[in-house]
Amino acid sequence: MWQLLMGAKKMHECYIVHRDIKPENILVADDHTVVKICDFGLAMSMSAQRQYEPTGTLWYKAPEMLLEKPDYDGLLETWSLGYVMTELINGRALFHWPFATEVRPELDVQRHNLLRELFPEEMLSKEGFEVLNGLLMCNPGKRLTAATALKKSWFSKIDALALPKKEVMASALPKRRRLL
């Protein structure tokens, strides 16, 4: 999740919204040390004001896209990444949005959060749940940004992980050829 959120943070710093983050658009190295977001075919600039376009994969769409809000931003990604996180934890989709057309009017109503019941502390630590819950806030004004999620205590020991350093990653890239 740290690598995915770092990728989203970098995209958002460049004012890019992917608009279709889902497991099929996430590449994982064979040794599971490198994770990359791919397929930017639906990506757009956050600086361009566009009319609402129904894009992306239904299951991973943030509620504001389902409600056809015209002004969406990088918080779309954090919702999608939260949904991906649920699949990483329990190995299956949390819920399917086809029912959304019937419940759209109810999305604005505050309901009791049942997420902790689906992800008890034996499955996801208190710190991990804080991240998941923050990513899956229906109200985008309360949802965590990628940058804010990365500051949560769940990621405080990330330096202890054996992730490739920037120098190693750069050396793995193909060398640019000079054109004569």
Residues with Cβ within 8 Å of residue 28, at least 6 apart in sequence: 34, 35
DSSP string, 86-139: HHHHHSS-S--GGGHHHHGGGGGS-----HHHHS-TTTS-HHHHHHHHHHT-SS
Q: Is 132 left (phi over 0), alpha (psi -120 to 50) or beta?
A: alpha
Write down the catalytic residue from 20, 31, 73, 108. 20
Catalytic status, residue 20: yes
Q: Show which residues are catalytic.
A: 20
